[in-house]
Structure 1
């Protein structure tokens, strides 16, 4: 890490800068009239080379009329924004000082006199990182949530959530909700109250640099992602009627027969509002990966993932005799090659799959993919750390 040298005088937490002024009496030459101007002094709450990170930088004017501006620059060339108090005596940064970073402070008072100071924060013992979905500059369906999975546990969830800023191109009510991801890691998702409006542009600014997540360590950088909401599409799967319908702007554009999971046991399908997580094409599906022994080992075409537990919609030509009349799969929603190809080509990642019917083993869990749409709005809001 590049550190800015810290002067020994900083141990006093104050710095004075004395400026000279030259003036002479009327008609005089000014000789011998030089005298020292009043000093401008500041103190900074963080000092030395091992200052504790996570607190705002506070610059206090100890001598002088009032602060006019303060600049705090880090060793990477970035600036900490901040505000001068109403009485002009203090300046406080809007964001905390980050760990393992050197800072240079320059303050200027109302008379134009300035003072400087330097400090550096201690390096973090542990660094926390995160993974964002959806990816940057993608176009997704109307049910796609913002989802953040953290590498390490987040103990202070409220501190983290305060630094997550969602901006939308039109008024959109939404809320964060915390859960444990299917992987066992801490996760927080942001979903709107209702499905997104098509064309909405969404930006997440995760301003986490300098935030302590607790036992999981410090964040040492910011993150961001931007995505756009695509076509208004909903996929309806009727388990009891053995049909899959694709609706676009409320109109049915595809209606195909399917055979879903065999009811009455672990091979049954999940019901509920799920979200298309990914379009994976041709993949190898093996039953032991989902706890079903050695029942199958197949290369499967047009695979569309709906849950982490292995529920897909895909081509299943081996079940052709059951399409439209019986559920005989090992949990997935199967259809003919031609129909699967057509659905695969039409759907977007983030499209909702609304699965209904009694031939199910229950409702998809919250963290088994994106299950938040199965909660009421009030129940979802209650999962925010700031409620």
Structure 2
């Protein structure tokens, strides 16, 4: 057991030349306290002060995950503790009111090495470490929108998990959303169109243009249920772009682009043939992606061999295959009748123009009777097709 050296006050450099004890077990670390009148002289003949003992748990090379880190002092009061993980990030925590212990607010993750550094009120310091055993039961996730993107006013934050989440409340507590203007919003859980667990955060109303949004998913060390762990944290941030809404009038066969509440353009279109599976959806869909020229085949959306075409200016609205796009083969019906296989079709010029104007995250508000139903919550981003009260009820913390 080592004791921190005692030096002449004029030769002392704060936090340097102090012994640091490192290890992978809970250690009793000797710390030297400073006297009220300053550090003792190096050549003092006074007997050494009794060192204070510090212990850290968990300990060892294969500690169990999912536990908070605890640092205890048998002597001098703790001033500060830092716990750093090998996969990035730190475990924040608090010193107890009596100064004798520190406990992390987050739990340890599997397969991670941690370094623990402690400092006492008298200026002593110590360093130790431990590692948690790896787990083959890991959960991961995908975030949308992407890091550093600019999106439309209807874009929700969306988290899709690779494996089921049983402990939804525990997970939701670790998802921290911050905005530049204190936007009111809430998380809502659902089953994604892919069948995976998903949680979205949407504001009460459409975002205000220019809002900066960030998400910190501090999930490292969280058990998502059935022993499947998150082993790292995630983060994303984005900025809300201009105020745009695309209004699709299914019954009158018109599409209007509104910007800042004013009409920009009104174009004729033809939507899905009413009365069956080829009808379009009503409700609010959010532009998911601008996919350009793609091959569309009816077999992929359960419509047999009705079509197999290369389609220009394709803008995806739902996972079930509803797009807005160029449809020159349907020219005779633009502005007159709904005769497509479910999509919103326009002329080449109108579709190319709209493609150049819209941004991912813009809402497409589709109204009318010529529809087969309302866009579901999980069919793309159907988050807006429910009342605010109903949306809030989908949170695991309500």
Task: Calculate the TM-score normalised by the size of structure 2.
Answer: 0.88
The aligned residue for residue 321 of structure 2 is: 310
Task: Choose 67-76 or 186-195, whichever is displaced more.
Answer: 67-76
Task: Choose 89-98 or 168-177, whichever is displaced more.
Answer: 89-98
For residues 322 and 377 of structure 1, do their structure 2 counterparts lie closer, same or farther at Cα, with a shift above 3 Å needed?
A: same
8 Å CA contact 1:173, 1:192 repeated in 2: yes
2-structure distance, mates of 1:189, 1:242: 32
For residues 85 and 288 of structure 1, do their structure 2 counterparts lie closer, same or farther at Cα, with a shift above 3 Å needed?
A: same
The aligned residue for residue 50 of structure 1 is: 62
8 Å CA contact 2:318, 2:381 repeated in 1: yes
For residue 194 of structure 2, give the secondary structure of its aligned residue in structure 1: coil
2-structure distance, mates of 1:274, 1:44: 52
1-structure distance, mates of 2:31, 2:235: 44
CA drift of 1:78 comes to: 5.0
1-structure distance, mates of 2:33, 2:271: 86
Gaps of 5+ in 2: 1-20, 36-42
CA drift of 1:343 comes to: 1.1
The aligned residue for residue 287 of structure 1 is: 298
2-structure distance, mates of 1:249, 1:321: 32
CA drift of 1:19 comes to: 5.2
**Match among 249, 253, 256 for residue 260 of structure 2:** 249
2-structure distance, mates of 1:237, 1:143: 16
For residue 53 of structure 2, give the secondary structure of its aligned residue in structure 1: strand
The aligned residue for residue 153 of structure 1 is: 164
The aligned residue for residue 209 of structure 1 is: 220
8 Å CA contact 1:154, 1:216 repeated in 2: no
**Match among 277, 280, 284 for residue 266 of structure 1:** 277
For residues 114 and 337 of structure 1, do their structure 2 counterparts lie closer, same or farther at Cα, with a shift above 3 Å needed?
A: closer
The aligned residue for residue 106 of structure 1 is: 117
The aligned residue for residue 345 of structure 1 is: 356
CA RMSD, aligned part only? 2.2
How many matched pairs?
A: 371
For residue 35 of structure 1, give the secondary structure of its aligned residue in structure 2: coil
CA drift of 1:109 comes to: 2.7
CA drift of 1:20 comes to: 10
1-structure distance, mates of 2:53, 2:263: 72
